[in-house]
Amino acid sequence: MKFLYVNKKKMTRDKVSSLMELCLTSSLNYLESSFKASQYVFLPEDVCEALIAKRLKEGKCTDSFLSTFSNPSTSRMVRVDLHGASITDEGLGYIVYHPIRDLNVSECCQLTKEGIKQITQCKNSLFSLNLGKCNKIAEFDDVGVFRKLRALDVSNTSFDQKSFEASAQGLSNLQMLNMTETEITDLKPVEHLKSLKSLDLSSCAGLTSVEPLKSVQG
C-alpha cells in the first residue's frame, strides 16, 4: 500500500487555490464529454455556480455550455450569475426549468424580448432579476408576470414609459427598482409598487416631476 505524505507547512493558499482550479477544470472536461449520457451524477447548486463562474472568467459561457444543466434531475440551479456571458435566448431556455431565485443576465447583449419570455418559466420562484445593459431587448411587457419579484434592474436599456405602465401593476412585491438611464417620463405607475423601498432614477432625462413618489409608503 502506498501512502501520500503531505507537509502541511507547505500547503499554501496558492496551492489550495490551484487544487480547486484543477478540480473544476477536470469536472468541466468530464461534464462536456460525457455528462449528458450519464444518469448517475447530480450537481448541487454550489457546484453549478462554481462551474459557471469559471466558464465566465474564461469567456466560454455559451449556449452550448448551459445545455449541460438542461436536466433538473441531474443538476440544481438557484442563483445564476451570467453577467456578460455570450449567450442567446436559446441558452436561457436550457436553465429556466430550475427553481431559480436570483438571475443576473446583465450585459448579455444578444438577448431579446424572447429571452424574457423564456425567463417567465421561473415566474413562481424568481425573486431577483437583473437585465441591465441588455440593449437588444425592445419590449419589457412580460416583466409584469414576475409577481414574486423583489429586485429588478432594467438600467441602461430601452425600458420606456409603456413598459413601466404595463409591468408595474404586477410588481406589488417589488422592493428595489433600478431604472437608471431609461426612457421613462412619468412616475405615476409607482402607485402600484406598494412594497418599494429603493428606487434609482439616475440619468432619466425625460422625467420632469417626482411628485408621484409621495404615494410610496416604503
Given this model, what pLDDT does residue 5 score? 45
- The separation between CA 181 and the C-alpha centre of its own chain, rounded to angstroms, equals 20
% of the chain with per-residue pLDDT over 70: 83
% of the chain with per-residue pLDDT over 90: 72
The mean pLDDT of 169-180, rounded to a whole number, is 96
Of the candidates 27, 16, 35, the one whose C-alpha atom is nearest the C-alpha of residue 55 is 27
Per-residue model confidence as pLDDT tens digits over 86-136: 999 999 999 999 999 999 999 999 999 999 999 999 999 999 999 999 999
What pLDDT score was predicted for residue 15? 53
pLDDT in tens, 3-21: 444 445 544 555 555 766 7
pLDDT at site 37: 45
pLDDT of residue 47: 87
pLDDT grade for 63, boundaries at 50, 70 and 90: very high
In 3D space, the residue among 57, 5, 50 whose CA is nearest the CA of residue 28 turns out to be 50
| pLDDT value, residue 216 | 85
Q: Give the pLDDT mean for 147-170.
A: 96
Question: Can you tell me the distance from the alpha carbon of 48 to that of 74, in angstroms, rounded to the nearest whole number?
Answer: 11
Q: What is the mean pLDDT of residues 155-173?
A: 96
In this prediction the pTM is 0.85
pLDDT for res 39: 57
Contact of 115 with 93, CB cutoff 8 Å: no
Helices 45-58 and 13-34 meet at what angle, rounded to 10? 100
pLDDT at 201: 97
- Residue range 48-69: average pLDDT? 92
